Amino acid sequence: MNLLKNKKILLIVTGGIACYKALDLIRKLQEKESHVECVLTSNAQEFIKVITFESLLGKKVKSNLFTLDQEKNMNHIKLATDTDIILVAPCTANFISKISNGVADDLATNVMLASNKPKMVAPAMNTNMWQNKAVKNNLYTLKKIGITILSPQSGKLACRTEGKGKLMDVDLIVDNLNLFFAEKKLRGRTAIVTAGPSIEKIDPIRFIGNFSSGLQGYEIAESLSFFGAKTILISGPTKLLPPSNVEFISVESSEEFLQKSLEKLPVDIYISVAAISDWKAKKISQSKLKKNSAVTSFHFKQNRDVLKSISTHKKRPKLVVGFSAETENLLKNSERKFKVKQCDWMLANKIDEKYGFKSEKNKVFFIEKNNIKEWKVMTKKLVARKLVKKIVSFFKNYKL
């Protein structure tokens, strides 16, 4: 469904090599029949000439803070208020720093500061810049003030390195904009999503863990929020920034995952994406275990099953969804888990070098009572979208 028709979108283009992709973005927004206005920073004009944008838009682009328009309105106030959403794409580390600290030294930053409209930024930069703590802190600030971050993708970058920092695919940017305007069909519903790994201590410096990145759970939490659900994200340690507009709870152990989940009941939806350890140390050593000590083996005991505990709880959510990560016998093992855990749906995903923990893509089988469907290989963002749309359909037909 095209929800971008007749929407007023202000596109701010900042100075990065990904500037040229903004032209494709404008074209695709025009195909969606959006009304696009464009602001170019002075740095952006070093990469692409203004006339290129104006030829595509069929109108003047804005860049000068001190120019009065024909109606004698100040550009930054008119642009800040006469729009449905502001999108910054590409968004450089420099621009992120400015808007996170309230700097207003040109037209683009003045518009961002003067506007109370929804805002999205699509960062694009070198991998080391993206991973820099200063940039992470600035992004965290943007999330706290309600700006949606369209996280960059991994791939080959213009600086001839490979890593995360590549501008989100233009089609995905358009999809995110479209989804933003979707009817909030889950408004009034509350959801818990667990994500990331659990950390089970052995001694003060060692633990049992796994390679879960948390990405799939974070994407699901963000999609639920987009559809209007009050979303609580309970996460083990990850390198990810929490999505905007979700309540974020940081945990480590399986016991903490369960405790925080139970504290937040009752809810309508519970989605267990976290890769929670099946075992923990019988006894956590209070001091570092030395390799030359008498310790020759570790003694473990099973953790309480978080998903099953929620599925069988007296305050059981209306919809309980589990994930099953397997390296072999995916369907056989996942079907068994589905029955044991007593959840409503289960998403079985294969863990190998291509998909799962170390990838931005997932290969998923959707399992429900008397039905298994294979989903095509998708990015974790699209898996999240597909799952949340199924959740919307579930509650549309839900009968008390």
Instruction: Tell me which residues are annotated as active site.
Output: 159
- Are the CB atoms for 349 and 323 separated by under 8 Å? yes
For residue 90, whether the previous peptide bond is cis, meaning omega lies within 30 degrees of 0, is yes
* Residues 40/156/244/175 CA torsion (nearest 10 deg): 70
- Are the CB atoms for 95 and 18 separated by under 8 Å? no
CA triple 36-174-249, angle to 5 deg: 120
Residue 15: its H or E element? none
φ/ψ of residue 124, rounded to 5: -150, 125
Structure tokens given for 183? 């009817």
Pairwise CA distance, residues 349 & 327, whole Å = 9
Name every residue whose Cβ is closer than 8 Å to that of residue 8 and which is 6 or more positions away in sequence. Answer: 34, 35, 37, 82, 83, 84, 85
The burial of 251, by beta-carbon neighbours within 10 Å (0-12 exposed, 13-18 middle, 19 or more buried), is given as buried
283 CB neighbour count, 10 Å cutoff:
10
Pairwise CA distance, residues 23 & 80, whole Å = 22
Structure tokens given for 4? 């971008």
Structure tokens given for 304? 């309480």
